[in-house]
Amino acid sequence: MTGDALLSVRDLSVRFETPDGTVNAVNGIGLDVAPGECVGIVGESGSGKSQTFLALMGLIASNGTVTGSARFQGTELVGLPPRRLNQIRGAKMAMIFQDPMTSLTPHMRVCQQLSEVLVRHRGLSHDEARAKALAALDQVRIPDAKNRLDQYPHEFSGGMRQRVMIAIALLCEPALLIADEPTTALDVTVQAQILDLLGDLRRRMGMAIILITHDLGIVAGLCDRVNVMYAGAFCETAPVGPLFRAPQHPYTRGLLSSVPRPDQRGGALTAIAGQPPNLQMLPPGCPFAPRCAYRFDRCDTERPLLREAGAPAHLKSCHLGGFTESGAVLP
């Protein structure tokens, strides 16, 4: 499996030194992404999902340290010197971010922000780069792209700016696109357009996508496989179908039952009680135990490791036997 993986992450951890102590944002993540695959990373705010992938891109804050291993097309990313990393990011591995309103440089024309990537990685002349930049804006379906090329970011709406971000990310036809909550800041109708665009581009260009989100609905529509993240670690990982049909981790079950459903009107929404743990002082046992309805003695003393949960490629970190599709608890 590791041999043909595009990205292979092993035991990746990210820590931040703060005046209040060490924050363990990511704790020993393992992940394989095959070429062309779409992998969803789901978790609530502060679960470490963004920091994991910012670490791969070499973009974490200066007080952070990354340990473990992340091989991308055979190159070890952890500890890679900036010069080498700059040959990979933006070219073979690209990332788009949560907030399109502030993610483009305000004092540069859109054309410049697109073409500098091509000049840098492909060595194109400015005229060639401009032509390709125009084609890229067309590709992400920006109307009247020719005239918008010389505009500044503030002349674009949020959805259009995210399209520009996607166009920038795809310029060099990367093998992997990391999309960090690409639709969170956008209107619902625009969300659907952007997701539709990402799915379409993925099919046409055959690139792999890592989609970071807290929205399970987005994952269901776009991804092949899902990793559910809690307190800096994966608690369940499975193909989309089995995960939604028979979630095996109590946290995943809680997430799924807190999604509002039109066929169950009237009742109050179910929420997961309690707060995520303090990442400066993780409990010795299962980090979800304090909020878990199924908790028993072992949960407080022994941290559960990822293990197979009934089906192959379906893993969970939980001491419980599991759940049937109808929700009955297995011993």
Partner 1 sequence: MIGYVLRRLAGAIPTLFIIVAVAFFMMRAAPGGPFDGERKLPPEIERNIKAAYDLDKPLVTQFGLYLGRLLTGDFGPSFKNKDFSVGELIAAGAPVSLRLGLSAITIAALIGMALGIIAALNQNRATDFSVMSAAMIGITIPTFVTAPLLTLLLGVYAGWLPVATWNNGALANMILPVTVLALPQIAVISRLTRGSMIEVLRSNFVRTARAKGLSEFTVVTRHALPAALLPLVSYLGPATAALVTGSLVVEQIFQLPGIGRYFVLGALNRDYTLVMGVIILYASLIIALNLIADVLYAVLDPKVRLA
Residue with Cβ nearer partner 1 (154 or 203): 154
φ and ψ of 28, to 5 deg: 70, 60
φ and ψ of 27, to 5 deg: -125, 90
Residue with Cβ nearer partner 1 (59 or 192): 59
When asked if residue 82 is in the footprint of partner 1 (CB under 8 A), the reply is: yes
Q: Binding residue for partner 1 (CB under 8 A) from 16, 97, 251, 288?
A: 97
Q: Binding residue for partner 1 (CB under 8 A) from 38, 39, 66, 91?
A: 91
168: part of which helix (H) or strand (E)? helix 158-170
* Both structure tokens of 313: 């490629």
Spatial distance between the Cα atoms of 238 and 245, rounded to a whole number of angstroms: 11
Spatial distance between the Cα atoms of 153 and 280, rounded to a whole number of angstroms: 39
Q: Binding residue for partner 1 (CB under 8 A) from 59, 124, 282, 306?
A: 59
**What's the min distance (Å) between Cβ of 189 and partner 1?**
24
Environment class of 115 (CB within 10 Å of its CB; exposed 0-12, middle 13-18, buried 19+): buried
When asked if residue 110 is in the footprint of partner 1 (CB under 8 A), the reply is: no
Q: Binding residue for partner 1 (CB under 8 A) from 19, 106, 143, 266?
A: 106
When asked if residue 57 is in the footprint of partner 1 (CB under 8 A), the reply is: yes
Candidate ranges 96-104, 134-142, 222-230, 315-323; the one touching partner 1 (CB under 8 A): 96-104
When asked if residue 104 is in the footprint of partner 1 (CB under 8 A), the reply is: yes
Residue with Cβ nearer partner 1 (94 or 195): 94
* Both structure tokens of 308: 């197979």
Query: Tokens 């993540």 identify what position?
Result: 29
Query: Tokens 């804050």 identify what position?
Result: 61
| Binding to partner 1 in span 202-221, by CB under 8 A | none
Residue type, 292: C
26: part of which helix (H) or strand (E)? strand 21-33
In the complex, which residues of this chain contact partner 1 (CB under 8 A)?
57-59, 61-62, 82, 85-91, 94-95, 97, 99, 102-108, 116-117, 120-121, 152, 154, 165, 168
